[in-house]
Structure formats: structure tokens, C-alpha cells
Chain A
């Protein structure tokens, strides 16, 4: 989330210290990992807001335009992947590919993807954490997912099985 090692180390330390001090507040019906992730996420978002000089929950200027679903770009490179995620995840070089694709997302799309798809926040929780509407959150999530799909498929897709855009029919 933070894209800077020092900030990431500070937030990691802060998270574990906070967890240590608030162990009595942990409700055993929730997963411990989830609880830790929530503490970490809120700490990281605080750092991001501070970087931007923002005091409010929202991570962007009030003038930011609302994202629209009809402005989401269409998939370009469409192909089945050569290997399954289970096979790919074993490979060391995959992590670099995933990190690079994530880094190329706009921060506003990356944060929604990380909270929703990686950390398992609900759409409502993601919207609240980032000071967005649910509608805006969903559009940003769609953009993030499609952009990551595009980039990963260019590397992991089987070029022999590529579906060309000109054959992308409208039904």
C-alpha cells in the first residue's frame, strides 16, 4: 500500500505494538489475521493521508470526478493463461510481476484493489476506509481488476490462444 520501505517498516512496527497493547480488545470470533490486517490498513491509510496533507477520511481532493463504469477500458489482450494460479504462486519471479503490475495502477485504484480483493474488506468497509461512495468504489475496483488482468495476461497468457479484439463480437 505504501510503496516505501521505511513507511512500511514503521507501520508494521506500529501495528504489532498496537496489537500487543490491545489484545484484550480482540474478539475471538474474528480471525486474528483479519484483526491485525485491519489495524495495519488503518495505520497505512493514515500515513498516506499525512503524505498528501489531508485531514479528512477521503484520500483525494473534493473536486475529484466520480469514476464512471462506461469509461472503463475494454480488454485488449485476451488469452487463456498457460498455468493456473496455484502453479504460478510457487514461482519466485511471479511476485515481481505482481508487484510491478500493482505499482503501475493509479494509487486510487490500487488501494481499492488491495483492501477489497487482497485484504477482504467488503465494498462498504472499503468505501468507508477510503472516504468514497460504494458506487465509486465499485468502478475503481473494476478498473483495477481489468488493468491487472490486462497486464498479467500479456505475460502469462498463451499467445497461441489469443482472441483478437477484432473478433470481439457484440451480441
Chain B
């Protein structure tokens, strides 16, 4: 397998959906090709970094408005029943 062919199969290998026969060729290439090993490792780390990134903090003013809107909508849709006389 050449480096270009490995590049074409990179997604499938990283996602674990690669055909087992192709996987064997892929890993054989990796065993003897340091640049490709590093690229595969870099790609895995890139995906992990984005997946595990810190959640975005809502700006305070927006968060307060959002909570207010949600509370209002909740009251409108879950109004307490009138008390029996």
C-alpha cells in the first residue's frame, strides 16, 4: 500500500469501519512508515480535542434572558389549575 492509498482510507481506519483485509495492508504500511503513523495519530488527537473541547459559556445577559423566556413559557403551558371554591 502506498502513502496516497493510505490517505484515501484514513477516515475508515480512524472510524473503525475499514474492511479487515484492507486493514491488514493499512497496518502493515503503518508499521514501516513513520510519517503515516504520525499523521494517523495526529488525526485521532485532532478529533479528540474537538470532541472534548470545553463547553461554550453562555454570555450572562443572554443566559438570563433565556432562563426568563423558558420560565415564562413553562408557566404558560403548565398553569396551575384554579383552586376549587
Residues of A that sit less than 8 Å from B by CB: 9, 12-13, 16-17, 20-21, 69-70, 72, 74-75, 78-81, 84-86, 88-89, 94-95, 98, 102, 113, 117-118, 138, 141-142, 145-146, 148-149, 152-153, 157, 163, 167-171
In the bound complex, do residue B29 and residue A171 qualify as a contact, i.e. CB atoms below 8 Å apart? yes
What is the size, in residues, of chain B's interface with A at 8 Å between Cβ atoms? 38
User: Which label, helix, strand, loop or mixed, suits the secondary structure of the B interface?
Assistant: helix
B46 contacts across to A, CB distance below 8 A? 145, 148-149, 152
- The main secondary structure of chain A at its interface with chain B is helix
Which residues of chain A are within 8 angstroms of B47 by Cβ–Cβ distance? 117, 145
Q: How far is the CA of A72 from the CA of B7 in the complex (A)?
A: 9
Can you report 15 A-B residue pairs in the complex whose CB atoms are below 8 A from each other? A16-B70, A70-B8, A81-B42, A85-B49, A85-B52, A89-B49, A142-B10, A145-B11, A145-B46, A145-B47, A146-B10, A148-B50, A152-B46, A167-B35, A171-B32
